Amino acid sequence: MKMWEGRFKKELASEVNDFNSSLPFDCRMYKHDILGSIAHAGMLAKCGIIGEDDGETIIKGLKGILADFESGALTFDSDAEDIHMYVEQILTSRIGDVGKKLHTARSRNDQVALDIRLYLRDAAKETRGLLSQLIDVICNKADENIDTVMPSYTHLQRAQPVTFAHHLSAYGQMFRRDCERIDDTYKRINMMPLGACAVAGTTYPTNRQMVADSLGFDCITENSMDSVSDRDFVIELCFDLSLIMMHLSRFSEEMIMWCSAEFSFIELDDAYSTGSSIMPQKKNPDIAELTRGKCARVYGDLNTLLVMMKGLPLAYNKDMQEDKEAVFDAIDNTSTCISIFTKMLETSTVKPAVMHKAAEGGYINATDCADYLAKRGIPFRDAYKVTGGLVAYCIENGKTLNSLSLEEYKMFSPVFENDVYHALDLATCVEDRKSAGGPAPVRVREQIESLRKFNKK
């Protein structure tokens, strides 16, 4: 029999029960549900809404249930409609009628809003921690590669010389913003909705602030209707996770390219790559590919949430039960991807000589050549044109800018002198890019330091 049996004359059809039930997936909020109930019962007793003894009995009963879930003595094998009803059912079966007082001045509508906030608080903290570890690995790898010259690309065409440290630090910035976004979302998760009850508050003399304080919330939500119908914070966190996945997916794409024979900039550790069932020579970047693939499903979760909410009238609607599987899926997949990607990156081997060779091949110091002329009085547009001619000459004659003789240089402009070789040396090109945020080692060291400082906070 259901808890709401009073008004009903027939048993619920079993298929409806299965359709309706969220227990198979909201059972993972058991701890949050019970902690929320303990805080609620404590408040009811302190405010004189239930007796002190009843409050104590309820809290003791709830603590016992929590311990039994944790030890495995209790399982989630039940036809209860959701985790909230299930816990209350067990409580009443254990402590008798007193258990029925727990749901005073509360509804499942505000209860589920509380539970999901408590759950997402933990999830946000965990994701934040994983991102910190990833940033740490990025900083260490960047440190080791502060002088590792590689080409930067635009349109996937070799563009200008940078270092691998600079390239990695770019991802460091993305993940730092991801951390900041989660911190910001956390503020909107950390508001306490319980006491809104079904939709319109209650006539009992409750003290919502007391519940907020005992559960460590920053404040209470301000409108009872909004409290039970708001899922913005779920969507916001899912968006944050989507961006993390987008960053991981771009990084994955690069890792996949970099460990191809064509690039060969890095090699993955055997423990973090896979073989082929038929081609013995293969070493596949499955982790990176799966991460790129899983990005799609996290976007899907975000889309589910956005579309699920778009036409809902105030306040609670059962549609909102669909939020959990989507956000849980996004959380699970994002955290797995961050942690495994971190290890894959950490254990990968960088190949500086190959990177340098690629940087030599693509005339990526052509801008520096134009700058060389411009700094010696030639207007940049003209310098650009002269350099274009030089590059065309190199292509025709199978040469690089660094391998031209001074006579050849002078065919294009009398301004060229012997110091052009030093100016066009890739190491010089990188070192001279000292503008704020640039790839020069001094600047990248600053970036790494700032990332590390952020990570320590």
Chain positions contacting ligand ARG, by CB under 6 A: 22, 26, 82, 108-109, 112, 318, 320-321
> What is the DSSP secondary-structure string of 215-233?
TT-SEE-S-HHHHHH--HH
Give the angle subtended at the CA of 278 by the CAs of 277 and 280, to the nearest 5°.
95
> Cβ distance 187 to 156 under 8 Å?
no
- Quick check: helix, strand or coil at residue 249? helix
Rg (CA), the chain: 30
Nearer to ligand ARG, 112 or 130 (CB): 112
Nearer to ligand ARG, 82 or 88 (CB): 82
Element (H, E) at 171: helix 164-189
CA distance 27 to 100: 21
Nearer to ligand ARG, 108 or 294 (CB): 108
Nearer to ligand ARG, 81 or 240 (CB): 81
> Cβ distance 390 to 401 under 8 Å?
yes
The residues near 13 (Cβ < 8 Å, ≥ 6 apart) are none
DSSP 284: B
Residue where the block lists tokens 């909410």? 309
Smallest separation (angstroms) from ligand ARG to the CB of 245: 25
Dihedral sign (CA 399, 404, 407, 410): positive
The residues near 198 (Cβ < 8 Å, ≥ 6 apart) are 107, 109, 110, 228, 316
Nearer to ligand ARG, 112 or 451 (CB): 112
Smallest separation (angstroms) from ligand ARG to the CB of 260: 46
CA distance 295 to 73: 37
Nearer to ligand ARG, 29 or 245 (CB): 29
Point out the residues that are catalytic: 155, 276
CA distance 406 to 425: 15
Nearer to ligand ARG, 45 or 320 (CB): 320
Smallest separation (angstroms) from ligand ARG to the CB of 178: 28
- Which segments within 118-199 are labelled E, that is strand? 149-154, 157-163, 191-192
Smallest separation (angstroms) from ligand ARG to the CB of 69: 18
Which residues face 158 on adjacent strands?
A: 153
Smallest separation (angstroms) from ligand ARG to the CB of 34: 15
Smallest separation (angstroms) from ligand ARG to the CB of 85: 8
Joined tokens for residue 101: 């007082």
Nearer to ligand ARG, 116 or 138 (CB): 116
Nearer to ligand ARG, 26 or 301 (CB): 26
Name the percent of the chain in helix, strand, coil, to the closest 5: 70, 5, 25
Element (H, E) at 350: strand 349-350
CA distance 256 to 95: 59
Report H helices in 108-163. Answer: 108-144
Smallest separation (angstroms) from ligand ARG to the CB of 322: 8
Joined tokens for residue 249: 């997916």
| Full 3-state SS string of 395-419 | HHHCCCHHHCCHHHHHHHCCCCCCC
Smallest separation (angstroms) from ligand ARG to the CB of 32: 13
CA distance 32 to 38: 10
Smallest separation (angstroms) from ligand ARG to the CB of 303: 19
